[in-house]
Amino acid sequence: MSLDNEPKLPDNPVVDYKEEFRRNRAFLQVALLQRYAERKGFKSGDDVGEEWVNEKQYSEKFAKIINERPDLVFEYTVSPEETLQKVEALLYGTEDLSQAA
C-alpha cells in the first residue's frame, strides 16, 4: 500500500485558536452592528456607532455576553443567523429588535 498520494501535512500544524476567536468575535459584532443600523434606519455608520457604543452601551454588554458565553463566537461560524438571533435576544432583552427600540 503506497502513501505517495497522501497529502503532506506540516510536521507541527499550529492553530491559533485565540486569533481565530478574536476574528470571529469581530465578525459577530460587526454583523450585530449592521443589523442594528438596518433595523433602526441609520444612514451613517458614525451615528449608529455612537448610539450602539456610547448611548446604549451595547458594546460593553456584548463583551460581557461573550465573556460569559464564548461558545457563541464559535457557534456563529456554524450557524450565523441563529447565533445572531440568540445574541440579539441576550443583548437587547427581546427576540424582536423593533420592540427594543
Domain borders along the chain are: 19-100
For the chain, give the mean pLDDT. 81
For the cut 80, the answer to whether the pLDDT of residue 87 exceeds it is yes
Q: Are 90 and 62 in contact (CB under 8 A)?
A: no
For the cut 80, the answer to whether the pLDDT of residue 90 exceeds it is yes
**Tens of pLDDT, residues 17-61:** 888 899 999 999 999 999 999 988 888 777 888 888 888 889 999
Supply the pLDDT for residue 97: 45
79 pLDDT tier (thresholds 50, 70, 90):
very high
Across 1-101, the runs of DSSP E, i.e. the strands, are none
